[in-house]
């Protein structure tokens, strides 16, 4: 169990560090963004970001309560790990999309706000032993951690 939590924490920090690295590369001008799009195309790209964000955040936060997922993770550590990675992926895809679009489209602030909205749920998906026990609903001996 300790290995699963450690692996999930590595993935957790990797996602956040990758997003931070993208921001750092653009802010130091090692990567250069593009120019603004025409209004029609910009609207479509913004709506894609908005839809990804407002769909993925609630689904990712409620993922472990869905009956199909709950039945798979119940007392099954590898399945819990898989579904936790899927949850982190569901939060990271819109985060990366919005950060990249912010810089590629000439500092369009909508994407900055959406990226910040994507960062907030990461506070609620921190991998821990207590969370794993609660979501899998099976207690472990206190000596295992």
What's the pLDDT at 37? 86
pLDDT score of 75 more than 80: no
Is-contact 140 5, C-beta < 8 A? no
* Single pTM value for the model: 0.87
pLDDT in tens, 80-136: 999 999 999 999 999 999 999 999 998 899 999 999 999 999 999 999 988 888 888
What's the pLDDT at 124? 94
First CA to last CA across the chain, in angstroms?
A: 8
Chain-wide mean pLDDT for the chain? 90
Count of H helices and E strands in the chain?
6, 0
What mean pLDDT comes out for the span 33-53?
92
Is-contact 77 1, C-beta < 8 A? yes
Q: How far apart are CA 116 and CA 127, in angstroms?
A: 20
The confidence band for 138, taking pLDDT boundaries of 50, 70 and 90, is low
Q: Would residue 76 be called left, alpha or beta, if left means φ above 0 and alpha means ψ between -120 and 50 degrees?
A: beta
**83 burial via Cβ count (<10 Å: 0-12, 13-18, 19+):** buried
What's the pLDDT at 93? 97
Instruction: Return the ∠ at Cα 92 (arms to 87 and 95), rounded to 5°.
Output: 140
């Amino acid at each position: 169990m300790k290995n699963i939590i450690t692996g999930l924490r590595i993935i957790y920090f990797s996602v956040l560090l990758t997003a931070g690295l993208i921001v750092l590369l653009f802010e130091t001008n090692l990567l250069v963004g593009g120019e603004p799009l025409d209004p029609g195309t910009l609207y479509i790209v913004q709506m894609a970001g908005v839809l990804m964000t407002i769909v993925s955040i609630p689904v990712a936060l409620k993922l472990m309560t869905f009956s199909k997922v709950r039945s798979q993770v119940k007392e099954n550590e590898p399945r819990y790990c898989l579904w936790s990675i899927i949850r982190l992926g569901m939060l990271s895809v819109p985060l990366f999309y919005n950060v990249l679009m912010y810089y590629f489209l000439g500092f369009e602030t909508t994407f900055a706000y959406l990226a910040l909205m994507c960062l907030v749920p990461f506070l609620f998906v921190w991998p821990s032993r207590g969370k794993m026990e609660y979501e899998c609903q099976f207690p472990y001996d206190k000596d295992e951690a």
